[in-house]
Amino acid sequence: MAYSFHFNQVWPFLPYLLGGAWVTVELAACAFGGGALFGLLVAIGIESAPGWLRGPLAFYRSFFTNTPQLVKILLIFFGLGELGWFVPPFWAAVFGLLLAESAYLAEIFRAGFASVNRAELDAAETIGLTRMQTLRHVTLPHLLQTVFPPLANQFIVSILYTSLGAIIGVEELTGRAFNVDSQTFRSLEIFIIVGVLYVALTLVSTAVLYGFGRFVLGVRARIF
């Protein structure tokens, strides 16, 4: 192989890249957080809304799960730009990712609601628990167990999706990789390091989420 590696040219940029990793996490957190909020509303809507609202909500979910993230981001960034609203790349990416996140999370929440056993609720009623108590001691723990693993899994997935922000100029990890590349042209070395950073990021997040799930929430399940 004729190629000679020159990692030494890339090492100085490591702190810069690590800063990008932090932006990645911020982006993921915003997209996921917003997505969780919307997703919850959509899920509740699908479960208990009047008939005429369910169709559009189901369509919302179907539309945003069956379309590529990248195109949504491009549409929002360039489309709104045309209308005169110059959305900062970061927020365009957040909003683009958020739309799909909310659709996936709505499905997770809905499955969670469905999993709450009728029998459990009846049993709670017959032993005299009030609705509030049932909610706190029966429904919520059960919901948490069912919903936390896929939720944690989806967060890790959204970390990986943030790399699309680089395409509209967000300076998260991949975006910064492009910048370093344009300066040093050591493309392979840069992307190897960035790849390692993404793997490390997902491993750390998986561990943290697993720990949180297990020791704070008492949920024992594999995440990602």
58 in contact with other proteins (CB under 8 A): no
218 in contact with other proteins (CB under 8 A): no
174 in contact with other proteins (CB under 8 A): yes
Distance of alpha carbon 103 from alpha carbon 162, whole angstroms: 17
Which residue lies nearer to other proteins by CB, 67 or 145?
A: 67
* Stretch touching other proteins by CB under 8 A, among 26-34, 65-73, 87-95, 207-215: 65-73
Q: How far is the CB of 7 from other proteins (least distance, A)?
A: 13
207 in contact with other proteins (CB under 8 A): no
Sign of CA dihedral 165, 166, 167, 169: positive
Taking CB under 8 A as the criterion, the residue among 54, 191, 214, 221 binding other proteins is 191
86 in contact with other proteins (CB under 8 A): no
182 in contact with other proteins (CB under 8 A): no
Distance of alpha carbon 110 from alpha carbon 36, whole angstroms: 12
Question: What residues from 88 to 107 belong to the interface with other proteins (CB under 8 A)?
Answer: none
56 in contact with other proteins (CB under 8 A): no
Q: Please classify residue 93 by burial: count the beta carbons closer than 10 Å to its beta carbon, then call 0-12 exposed, 13-18 middle and 19+ buried.
A: buried
For residue 150, give the nearest of 158, 138, 162 by alpha carbon.
158
Q: How far is the CB of 193 from other proteins (least distance, A)?
A: 11
179 in contact with other proteins (CB under 8 A): no
Q: Binding residues for other proteins, how many (CB under 8 A)? A: 39
158 in contact with other proteins (CB under 8 A): no
Distance of alpha carbon 87 from alpha carbon 137, whole angstroms: 44
Distance of alpha carbon 145 from alpha carbon 218, whole angstroms: 8
**Cα 42–54–38 angle (5° rounding)?**
10
C-alpha pair distances (Å), 10 with each of 39, 81, 128, 196: 41, 35, 66, 14
For residue 174, give the nearest of 9, 72, 27, 29 by alpha carbon.
27
Where on the chain is the footprint of other proteins (CB under 8 A)? 1-3, 62-63, 66-72, 74-75, 78-79, 81-83, 160-164, 166-167, 174, 177, 187-188, 191-192, 194-195, 198-199, 202-203, 224
